[in-house]
Chains A and B, each alone.
Chain A
């Protein structure tokens, strides 16, 4: 079984542990063993060290990366922001002078960044290491007939020059689409596929601007796809879709019911037959109906004799 360092970040272990649980449950049957990076901290998020000092950012990121380097493992993140922050920091660390300065800081906590671990997002691991065929083989339910709108999120797309693993065309991302289609579901295109959801710094700085942006994206999804659900590989996007749809609904700014939203590994865990009370338990939007449709007995894939 292939081992990989599981880098959890903040939102997933603290606010959305059902996502963590879904990751932990789906990987071993697909041949990947997640290894905990004991003591891993914040990536650090864009609004913290990166907003104050480049070297401190690189030091905190590099410390996280050394936790995997020590074990000879690559890193897999669940959160898009973590993927972006760690990848960019690693890119900055290619500059010899920066690496020396940061390693001097790390030396004080008896660590040294070597640059030997690659940074993956879990979507990359599933797409490139596990592969569509194996995902299909692991399904218990076939999601044929369900329509999914996908939200890849910004931080695994741009800037493509800092990512070791990436989309062929970041403006037409296909990794998450392929992963969702592997469950049998249909993934129609919508025009604002690449648009930002408005979570992050924007939401904490100016909620109204964030909601304005989010609404445009949401309406594009609803009008152009009439999807049954939204699936994302970004835990921040997940929170925006889950928190902000009810707000827009309550204000009367949208005239449709909020679309249930899943993190991708939650969807896959449900399709693999995992217990929803463990892998998809926490959300503002009621997901019970769509979960029941996903795990409907009629969708059970019959064993081929």
Chain B
């Protein structure tokens, strides 16, 4: 006979404010096999834990049920407590009467109390059937993968590498640097973005523990914490990077033009190009989507021969390359090549994109003088299309009046309901930089609210007011196209409750931050989930901000939600520290709550094999016949195979049949169940 102890938590007023805790305790006492039922203001406090431990040490109880909050945060605490008191930690069950009763039925105290009783009865029902289980351990590959080479990915990679772990840094574009490399200066100190970023890029690239793989994408991930196998697709650059010196002669000679992504489409680049002057690595790429196959010669075919001399007629890029790195005759695979690496943990730092202005029909998106803030960033950057001079796109003239519009697509139920968090600050930064350089420029900024929470941020904002930048509270309603490519701003001043109209030469839209389109595919490969705002979901918004629901997989930067550079770097270093834990430990624990096949009962039908979402099941030979077998370290204990097995040959430890049925019986008893 099990000796079950039930401990009901008030959780301050979280539970007791709604539920009659004494009534639940009294009820618990009447349940079969319950030998003790107690309550406490905070079961997770020292005194609460001590109460449980003492009962265990005194030999009063050998199964423990805590009726409190969520097992997601608190199960490990109580498991550890009973383990310390000498009980197997899996002889514990949690009844979540906070999330499942007091929080959701706050308006109905009596009903919530009744439901809490049922939830407790269900947990007791299961606890009576619990069996001791033992943790298992597997060895870890001491290497990490960081996906995304922006400031988040670079920071995480450097941190991991400095701790002594081999780190692969994968970036999809030809250079690391990310969005930060496109920025002019950074708030709130106005230091030059390139000046602080470029040294880090070089450090990462030259670090003995970091292998930087640019122009590369993660193709496939398999395995589990400690032992991930990753296939990385190194995209076809059509330039031999071992030979390329980054001189740029191929780009200078290439005649094919396409919009330059690095300049946010404000200028053209060539099909053969180096991403930007400070690129790391500084290597050329031929973009085959833009290549015009000079002389009608397809890539991978032999050059035509000069009729007189018989010499091959080379393409301009081939001819220009002094390092002999371009040979268009080679049968290069357009798919690139796959590199396989083994790592113990993974940090995802894939960053963000800003919405295109085309979404905002009311904002005259057809006007060349309506630009996104990222485009303005390129205009004011010394490496941008105007070499840092403020010139508007339509006529390359200096604007006299410039307008900033906040919350384009953020805080908007039609697009994204969330605040993009750093737009207010970067708009103020851009305005300040412009006002410093061009004091006569009229700058009008329109906000719903000015949000400048952050160290030294509000001072930065009030300083902008003192500089003579005009701030208006009120969302801009639209733009009208005026002659000479000016724009009439239809705005509103909330403070005076009057509408505002004026002509502007250049309008900058702070468009929302969102996940890049290709994030969906990556999420599928990695098993990442999305949050309500459509960013990658962290394990817990407060207590697990860099972890995910997949062990060994961590998040950093804007892929988890909009954040500025300081927050991204902080999170990246946090993610690196978390990712280093299994690498430093050298082995990882496998919780015993996993499935096991009883080969005597298995018919070898194989139904479970394709159903397993973690590819943990394979057919193997047992006593001369084919039987399913589960790879312990890959199983996540989801239970799909257990419920699907027609022979009932698969046991999910911790959720065994008698345990589950006992729970169901208790829940369907209407609270009167006292039977076994």
A adjacent to B, CB under 8 Å: yes
Q: Which residues of A contact B (CB under 8 A)?
A: 169-172, 189, 191-195, 224
Number of interface residues of B (CB under 8 A): 10
Q: Could you show 13 A-B contacts with beta carbons less than 8 Å apart? A: A170-B361, A171-B361, A171-B362, A171-B364, A172-B366, A191-B480, A191-B481, A192-B480, A193-B480, A194-B478, A194-B480, A224-B482, A224-B483
Residue in B closest to A160 when the chains form the complex, CB atoms: B361
Q: Which chain B residues border A194 with CB–CB below 8 Å?
A: 478, 480
Most chain-B CB neighbours within 10 Å: which of A171, A193, A195? A171
Q: Of residues 357 to 404 in B, which have CB atoms within 8 Å of A's CB atoms? A: 361-362, 364, 366
Q: Are B361 and A191 in contact (CB under 8 A)?
A: no
Q: Which chain B residues border A189 with CB–CB below 8 Å?
A: 481
Residue in B closest to A223 when the chains form the complex, CB atoms: B483
Q: Are A171 and B478 in contact (CB under 8 A)?
A: yes
Beyond contacts A191-B480, A191-B481, A193-B480: 6 other A-B pairs, Cβ-Cβ < 8 A, are: A169-B361, A170-B361, A171-B478, A191-B482, A192-B480, A195-B480
Q: Which chain A residues border B488 with CB–CB below 8 Å?
A: 191
Q: Are B482 and A172 in contact (CB under 8 A)?
A: no
Q: Which chain B residues border A171 with CB–CB below 8 Å?
A: 361-362, 364, 478
Q: Which chain A residues border B482 with CB–CB below 8 Å?
A: 191, 224
Interface of B is mostly: mixed
Q: Which chain A residues border B481 with CB–CB below 8 Å?
A: 189, 191
**Shortest beta-carbon distance from A171 to chain B in Å:** 5
**Shortest beta-carbon distance from A256 to chain B in Å:** 18
Distance in angstroms between the alpha carbons of A114 and B478 in the assembled complex: 38
Q: Are B483 and A172 in contact (CB under 8 A)?
A: no
Mark each residue of chain B from 475 to 491: 1 if its CB lies under 8 Å from any CB of chain A, else 0: 00010111100001000
Distance in angstroms between the alpha carbons of A196 and B491 in the assembled complex: 16
**Shortest beta-carbon distance from A46 to chain B in Å:** 21
Distance in angstroms between the alpha carbons of A224 and B483 in the assembled complex: 7
Distance in angstroms between the alpha carbons of A172 and B478 in the assembled complex: 11
Distance in angstroms between the alpha carbons of A191 and B487 in the assembled complex: 9
Distance in angstroms between the alpha carbons of A193 and B482 in the assembled complex: 10
For the complex of A and B, the 6 pairs showing the least CB-CB separation, nearest first, are A191-B480, A169-B361, A191-B482, A171-B362, A171-B361, A191-B488
Distance in angstroms between the alpha carbons of A167 and B568 in the assembled complex: 42
**Shortest beta-carbon distance from A130 to chain B in Å:** 26
Distance in angstroms between the alpha carbons of A261 and B366 in the assembled complex: 29
Residue in A closest to B488 when the chains form the complex, CB atoms: A191
Residue in B closest to A195 when the chains form the complex, CB atoms: B480
**Shortest beta-carbon distance from B312 to chain A in Å:** 51
**Shortest beta-carbon distance from A217 to chain B in Å:** 11
Q: Which chain B residues border A195 with CB–CB below 8 Å?
A: 480
**Shortest beta-carbon distance from A214 to chain B in Å:** 16
Most chain-B CB neighbours within 10 Å: which of A191, A193, A195? A191
Distance in angstroms between the alpha carbons of A224 and B488 in the assembled complex: 14
Most chain-A CB neighbours within 10 Å: which of B366, B478, B480, B481? B480
Q: Which chain A residues border B480 with CB–CB below 8 Å?
A: 191-195
Distance in angstroms between the alpha carbons of A189 and B487 in the assembled complex: 13
**Shortest beta-carbon distance from B410 to chain A in Å:** 20
Distance in angstroms between the alpha carbons of A172 and B483 in the assembled complex: 15
Q: Which chain A residues border B478 with CB–CB below 8 Å?
A: 171, 194
Distance in angstroms between the alpha carbons of A189 and B480 in the assembled complex: 11
Q: Which chain B residues border A172 with CB–CB below 8 Å?
A: 361, 364, 366
**Shortest beta-carbon distance from A190 to chain B in Å:** 9
Most chain-A CB neighbours within 10 Å: which of B361, B364, B366, B478? B361
Q: Of residues 648 to 670 in B, which have CB atoms within 8 Å of A's CB atoms? A: none
Residue in B closest to A194 when the chains form the complex, CB atoms: B480
Residue in A closest to B487 when the chains form the complex, CB atoms: A191
Distance in angstroms between the alpha carbons of A195 and B477 in the assembled complex: 12
Distance in angstroms between the alpha carbons of A191 and B480 in the assembled complex: 5
Residue in A closest to B481 when the chains form the complex, CB atoms: A191
Distance in angstroms between the alpha carbons of A172 and B488 in the assembled complex: 14
Q: Which chain A residues border B483 with CB–CB below 8 Å?
A: 191, 224
Distance in angstroms between the alpha carbons of A152 and B423 in the assembled complex: 36
**Shortest beta-carbon distance from A291 to chain B in Å:** 30
Distance in angstroms between the alpha carbons of A192 and B481 in the assembled complex: 8
Mark each residue of chain B from 522 to 560: 1 if its CB lies under 8 Å from any CB of chain A, else 0: 000000000000000000000000000000000000000
**Shortest beta-carbon distance from B491 to chain A in Å:** 15
**Shortest beta-carbon distance from A196 to chain B in Å:** 12
**Shortest beta-carbon distance from B484 to chain A in Å:** 11
Q: Which chain B residues border A191 with CB–CB below 8 Å?
A: 480-483, 488
